[in-house]
Amino acid sequence: MALLVIGVLVAVKAVVPLERGLPTALVHEETRLVNPGKELADSNGIGIEVGTFIENLHSLSLRQRIFNAEGFYWLEWPRQVQNLMEAEGITPLQLVEITNQVNSSSALIQPDTAAPLPRPGDRFYQRFRFSTSLYIPDVDLRRSPFERLVLPLVLEVVPDALARQQGNVVLVPDTDSGNSKVGSYASINGYDIESIRSVSSLHSYGTSWGLDQGDLDYSRLSVQVVMRGDPFSSFVTWILPLLIVMLIVLLAPLLDGGLGEIRLAIPSTALLTLIFLQQSYKAELPSLSYLTFLDCLYAYSCVVCALPVGQQCICGNSWPSEK
């Protein structure tokens, strides 16, 4: 009964996480999800169409929360934006930036053509090639080793003249279903691509940058590659060894009573084995402020292994010694 109660408490801890985060009094940065079509209609905004093609994904490090990506993104904008760019001296490369980029000194972002290409309807088009390391802002490993990974490419309007309160520019995802989103090399070892989605938002940094122009909102578009590991492979790699160790512990009491030392040694050895298994599992993950699903299984298993050891010690001390 006690083991059942402990198991329920551990399961609740894994499913219902505690609310954590930075103090709201210190951080005023905010991101609000929006519908780009509704934003254009409600605010009479100016849309910049954004398309992406992720050619390659590699070098994923969950511990450092980074991965490498190569590919293309392209922008298509109307005459109103072109007039703003000419008035403010903004080049096409300065229209948007990859906000979750790291190691910018080694990043490569370059236009395919020297100047924007004219498009029908008095519009302009420019394609860019990128190769960079990207940061993963949100890593949810509560269901690990059966987690989903979201690898984002986050594009955001850069110039203040194009912010929501001034130029009112909105990044709109390319909705052409005939366009491929990823290349044949866009894969990560151990994971399969489940879906690709575009998430639009308005991003406010919570600062006026010392220019007394108010807190500006910048349009942001996040292209997210959702990946998931093979459940069977994860089960065999992490869960099956744990189940085998626990099966040995549960069968130990069935040994002959004359083998008391062996019956006591099995849970102790299993406990050490569980500790080493968990350490090898945690070595692949970043430091977390919560328990993963597998952590909860290890915690429950350790309690189960410790109980027979405690029982043997208590019974051994209470048994009358021979004189």
Residue 59 has pLDDT above 50, yes or no: yes
CA–CA distance, 115 with 289 (Å, rounded to integer)? 48
- DSSP for 212-265, please give it: SS---EEEEEEEEEEEEE-HHHHIIIIIHHHHHHHHHHHHGGGS-GGGHHHHHH
Please check whether residues 249 and 206 belong to one and the same domain: no
Q: Specify if 258 maps to a domain.
A: yes
Residue 9 confidence (pLDDT): 56
Residue 312 has pLDDT above 60, yes or no: yes
Cis peptide bond N-terminal to 120, omega within 30 = no
- AA identity, residue 57: L
Q: Specify if 3 maps to a domain.
A: no
CA–CA distance, 169 with 40 (Å, rounded to integer)? 9
Please check whether residues 45 and 101 belong to one and the same domain: yes
Please check whether residues 288 and 182 belong to one and the same domain: no
Sorting pLDDT into bands at 50, 70 and 90, what band is 254? Answer: confident
Q: Which long-range contacts (CB under 8 A, 24 or more apart) does 263-271 make?
A: 263/308, 263/312, 264/308, 264/309, 264/312, 267/305, 267/306, 267/307, 267/308, 267/309, 268/305, 268/309, 270/245, 270/246, 270/305, 271/302, 271/305, 271/306, 271/309
Sorting pLDDT into bands at 50, 70 and 90, what band is 180? Answer: confident
Please check whether residues 67 and 207 belong to one and the same domain: yes
Residue 163 has pLDDT above 50, yes or no: yes
- AA identity, residue 75: L
Please check whether residues 252 and 277 belong to one and the same domain: yes
3-state DSSP assignment of residue 109:
strand
Please check whether residues 180 and 37 belong to one and the same domain: yes
Domain boundary at 184, 201, 229, which?
229
Please check whether residues 179 and 95 belong to one and the same domain: yes
CATH of the domain at 101: 2.70.170.10
Residue 5 has pLDDT above 60, yes or no: no
3-state DSSP assignment of residue 132:
strand
**Contact in structure between 64 and 283 (CB atoms under 8 Å):** no
Sorting pLDDT into bands at 50, 70 and 90, what band is 65? Answer: very high
CA–CA distance, 117 with 195 (Å, rounded to integer)? 31
Q: Specify if 142 maps to a domain.
A: yes
Largest CA distance in the chain: 104
Residue 227 confidence (pLDDT): 94
CA–CA distance, 95 with 275 (Å, rounded to integer)? 51
Residue 29 confidence (pLDDT): 81
Burial of residue 204 (number of CB atoms within 10 Å: 0-12, 13-18, 19+): middle
Residue 252 confidence (pLDDT): 80
Please check whether residues 160 and 38 belong to one and the same domain: yes
Domain boundary at 229, 261, 277, which?
229
Sorting pLDDT into bands at 50, 70 and 90, what band is 73? Answer: very high
Please compute the mean of the pLDDT values over residues 306-312 and round it to a whole number. 71
Residue 3 has pLDDT above 70, yes or no: no
Residue 17 confidence (pLDDT): 53
What are 142's two structure tokens? 């509560």
Please check whether residues 208 and 248 belong to one and the same domain: no
Residue 319 has pLDDT above 50, yes or no: no
Does the reported pTM lie above 0.85? no
Over residues 183-210, the pLDDT tens digits come to: 888 888 889 999 999 999 998 888 777 7
Over residues 258-295, the pLDDT tens digits come to: 666 777 788 888 888 999 999 999 988 888 888 899 99
Please compute the mean of the pLDDT values over residues 148-165 and round it to a whole number. 92
Q: Specify if 16 maps to a domain.
A: no
Sorting pLDDT into bands at 50, 70 and 90, what band is 167? Answer: confident
Please check whether residues 203 and 313 belong to one and the same domain: no
Q: Specify if 323 maps to a domain.
A: no
Of all helices (H) and strands (E), which one includes residue 69? strand 66-78
Q: Specify if 280 maps to a domain.
A: yes
Please check whether residues 150 and 252 belong to one and the same domain: no
Q: Specify if 174 maps to a domain.
A: yes
**Contact in structure between 164 and 36 (CB atoms under 8 Å):** no
Total domain count, the chain: 2
Residue 323 has pLDDT above 50, yes or no: no
Residue 314 confidence (pLDDT): 67
Other CB atoms within a 10 A radius of the CB of residue 200 amount to 21
**Contact in structure between 278 and 127 (CB atoms under 8 Å):** no
Domain boundary at 181, 200, 229, which?
229
Over residues 134-155, the pLDDT tens digits come to: 999 989 999 999 999 999 999 9
Domain of 257 in residue numbering reads as 232-317
Which neighbouring-strand residues pair with 30? 204
Q: Specify if 301 maps to a domain.
A: yes
Q: What is the mean pLDDT of the chain?
A: 85
Residue 316 has pLDDT above 60, yes or no: no
Residue 2 has pLDDT above 90, yes or no: no
**Contact in structure between 166 and 45 (CB atoms under 8 Å):** no
Residue 100 confidence (pLDDT): 94
Q: Name the residue with higher pLDDT: 14 or 314.
A: 314
Please check whether residues 253 and 224 belong to one and the same domain: no
